Structure 1
C-alpha cells in the first residue's frame, strides 16, 4: 500500500538539497543536523544513504514497514 504523501528517492534528495542550500556552507548544515561535514557530503553525493538525523533536520521522517515473521517450513 502506497500512501499519497510517500516520497521517492529523488524527492528526498531534492528536499535535503533545498535544506542544505539554506545554509552558508555544508559545514553549517552538518553542524545543524549533528553530523560531520564529511558524512553529510557523502550522503548528498549518494555514497551513503541519508541518516535519520539529516532527514529529520530536512523535515522528513522515515517510517520503516513493520517486521513480518514466517515459520521456516512455510518459506
Structure 2
C-alpha cells in the first residue's frame, strides 16, 4: 500500500514541475526599453529600463496585467 505522504509528495513535485514549465514558456520582452511609458508618458526608471524590453512604468504595467487577466 502506498503511503499518503508519498502520494502527496509526488503530487506536489508534479505541480511544481508544471508551474516551472509554464513560467519558462512565457515570452519575456526583449530588446531596448523605452525611456518613457507608452501609456502615461512618465519616465521609466533606469533600473527598470536595464531589464530590457520595458514599455510601461510599474503602475501602468500593473493595470495592464490586471486587465489582461479578465
Instruction: Give the TM-score category using the shorter length.
Output: under 0.3
TM-score, length of structure 2 as denominator length: 0.26
Larger Rg: 2
TM-score, length of structure 1 as denominator length: 0.25
